[in-house]
Amino acid sequence: MSELWGQFKMLSNRQRYQKMRGMSGTWQPARLRMGACTLLALALIGCSGTENVAARSDAQAATNGRQVPATLDTPDAVQVASLEAVPALRDQVGKDANTITLITPPEARQAVIDARAARQKKQWDLLQSLVPVAKSDPVIGAYAEYWSLYRTLTNPALPVPEVQIRDFIQRHAGTYLADRLKGDWIVAATRAGNYALAASLAPLVNVDASEQCALLHAQHMTGQRVNAQQVMDSFVPNNACWAMLGQMKSSQVVGWKQLEPALRAILETNKAGNARRMAALMFTPAEMTDYAAIMKNPKKWLSGRKPPRDRAQIELVTIALSRLAYGDNRLPNAAYVENNWATAIPKDNIQWVWSQFGLVAALNVELDAAKWYRRSGTAPMTDYNHAWQVRAELRQPAIDWKQVEKAIERMTDRQASEPVWMYWSGRALAAQGQHEAAVRKYQAISTELDFYGQLASEELGHTLSLPPAPAPVTAAELREARSNPGLHRAITLFELGWRPEAVPEWSYAIRGMTDRQLRAAAELARQEHIYDRVVNTSLLTHNEIDFSQRFIAPFEGRVTEKARMINLDPAWVYGLIRQESRFIMDARSHVGASGLMQLMPATARWVAKKIGMVNFTPSSVNEFETNTILGTNYLNMVLNDLNGSEVLATAGYNAGPRRPVLWRSKLGAPVEGAIFAETIPFTETRLYVKNVMSNATYYAMLFTGQPQSLKKRLGTVSPQPSRTVDLP
């Protein structure tokens, strides 16, 4: 025994891995919290209150037919059954002095799995009973304890176990779960009115909207300075933020100046419940009765009403007039506004009303949208509305580029500097003969490796090409990534299929990494076949751009094979899969689409029947062969139905093939593919089309080794009458 202890002491001073950036990578024995009954720092046997684990051989320590290795993470959480495990430990150290690999007790791993199931079924007593055994899992055992503690924070009927929570945060310091539990505690403490405690728990490493709002709320209540800009920048419509905003209104940190534009922004998105809550912060109960009547029937409420006198009544009339833009009577309603109210409210207010007529028309891809927007003058608008004014101008049969320029000039500096508006500003300047100014706009974004960066490069006359490949990740860098405890934990969670837990673990682990470290982490993800992490991690690098990671093409050419069987461009198919699922085989969207190519169940059944696929079952949609055969065939059907236009077919694949037929029918003249893509009224589909087409251009460069043109791929979209579409 003394010999083993001596060997352990030597091991404890060897470099393992860096748990957090800036922390020592040395494994210090003092952190092990060893008791008098400890035979080895990793073997806790016979101690009072410690779970005893029966001795087993490596073969007996298999779960689901294979051993479960566990690279040491938090040493005090690791338990080894008996000294039989020590020779295996010594053997592993001999192979790699930087890591120590143990065997996870299978009953511990199973306890974590059962604890997660118990949490999902709200079997709280069962969850609690599993925590002691689950702790023996050195990699993910902390999750069971976290779930149990989280439940106490979110159930007001339960006492908050402050001692246990602090102990958990201390034991797991530097981990994602410790930071997350601290954030959960901030939200719970603020909700309970314990503002001093909540404020004392700051700072957090990762802060979500609820935590940020709760923290601002607590800081304000404990006398710390919080300004209106911080409040409004942090606000999203969730419970913690509503509570914070209500308090800030009561304390006069925010007022009408901040709440009015916030209410108008919510009204533009038709979120009725959120708009009502925001209105309640602005209006009296009597005024809220008027607000409810407006939302039910604005014209009825306006009928016979005299011009408003005070601020609240002016705003209520403004909201009522703006609601007349919705529905089927837009033109007669506009005449009613012009004849009865155009001079009855302030100029800025009536201009905002006309902007709402423009917005609704633009979202219905109607050509008169630009006419309404031009009546909105210089009134302040939301970023959302400014964007749609530009899109309305771009969709005109004869584009007035001066109007495009004026619309972009109305934007805030922050919005106008976004690549999309820099590009269209450059186009507007070039069309008006201001070539030097246009070049400056293009140059500012031409290095962006995205849709508008590619288009700007082409406007400068550059041939699109791939950036030079950086030096490959070294074996040492890859070993460092593999020994990172957070990445190891995330990989374990991915292997279990627990993506909701795995993704934030991975994201937490890679924060603050250098370009080389990020590329090594991405390479590790490639080796583990976690392809979405390959792409998303590599996208974070700034100077070392590795397109073999960013535009990974997995599955050994089998996607290309399926595409070529039906004469589809493999680059386009890969570009679509990259956007649809990031190559996650069992990806499932919130609407029920499945697999690599995200097929809806009804669509999959329809295509399977159409192509005569035998032995099709709904459960097979996630399988590679079934999904790619059905997906590529459906994509090909959509492409053929839309005259071979990839930009239209991409929109149809995402939003349904009927919609691009409708949007195309409302064009007044042929438009560039880029304009069609930018003016798609669904935000998700608009971004989707631009990303897929940009992806496809890069994949084509990778696959062919030849220069490509995004503008050529986008082509031109010409108006055609609407028609019935037989595709699902």
3-state secondary structure 437-501: HHHHHHHHHCCCCCHHHHHHHHHCCCCECCCCCCCCCCHHHHHHHHCCHHHHHHHHHHHCCCHHH
Count CA atoms within 13 Å of residue 305 on its CB side. 22
CA distances from 129 to 118, 125, 153 (A): 10, 6, 18
- Cβ count near 74 (within 10 Å): 21
How far is 221 from 211, CA to CA, in rounded Å? 15
List of residues 6+ apart from 248 with CB closer than 8 A: 217, 220, 226, 228, 231, 254
Name the average pLDDT for the chain. Answer: 88
pLDDT at 719 over 70: yes
Q: What is the pTM of this model?
A: 0.86
Closest to 513 (Cα-Cα) out of 486, 492, 489? 486
Ordered alpha helix ranges (H), 330-418:
330-340, 347-363, 369-374, 383-394, 401-409, 413-416
pLDDT of residue 115: 98
Closest to 411 (Cα-Cα) out of 444, 440, 442, 389? 389
Residue with structure tokens 């062919």?
704
- Give the single-character DSSP code of 708: B
pLDDT of residue 103: 80
Closest to 70 (Cα-Cα) out of 92, 50, 37, 95? 92
Measure CA 676 to chain center: 25
pLDDT per position as a tens digit, 406-452: 999 999 999 999 999 999 999 999 999 999 999 999 999 999 999 99
How far is 151 from 160, CA to CA, in rounded Å? 10
What is the per-residue DSSP string for 556-595? TTHHHHHHHHTT--HHHHHHHHHHHTTT-TT-B-TT--BT
pLDDT per position as a tens digit, 152-177: 999 999 999 999 999 999 999 999 99
What is the per-residue DSSP string for 178-229? HHHHHHHHHHHHHHTT-HHHHHHT---SS--HHHHHHHHHHHHHTT----HH
pLDDT at 93 over 90: no
Question: What is the average per-residue pLDDT within 220-236?
Answer: 98
pLDDT per position as a tens digit, 526-555: 999 999 999 999 999 999 999 999 999 999
List of residues 6+ apart from 523 with CB closer than 8 A: 473, 478, 481, 534, 549
pLDDT of residue 49: 33
How far is 517 from 91, CA to CA, in rounded Å? 28
Do 4 and 38 touch, CB atoms closer than 8 A?
no
pLDDT at 317 over 70: yes
Question: What is the average per-residue pLDDT within 85-97?
Answer: 36
Phi and psi for 142 in degrees, rounded to 5? -65, -20
pLDDT at 68 over 60: no
Q: 501: which 2 tokens?
A: 């837990």
Question: How sure is the predictor about 100, in pLDDT bands with cuts at 50, 70 and 90?
Answer: low
pLDDT of residue 4: 34
What is the per-residue DSSP string for 129-155? HHHHHHTT-TTTTHHHHHHHHHHHHH-
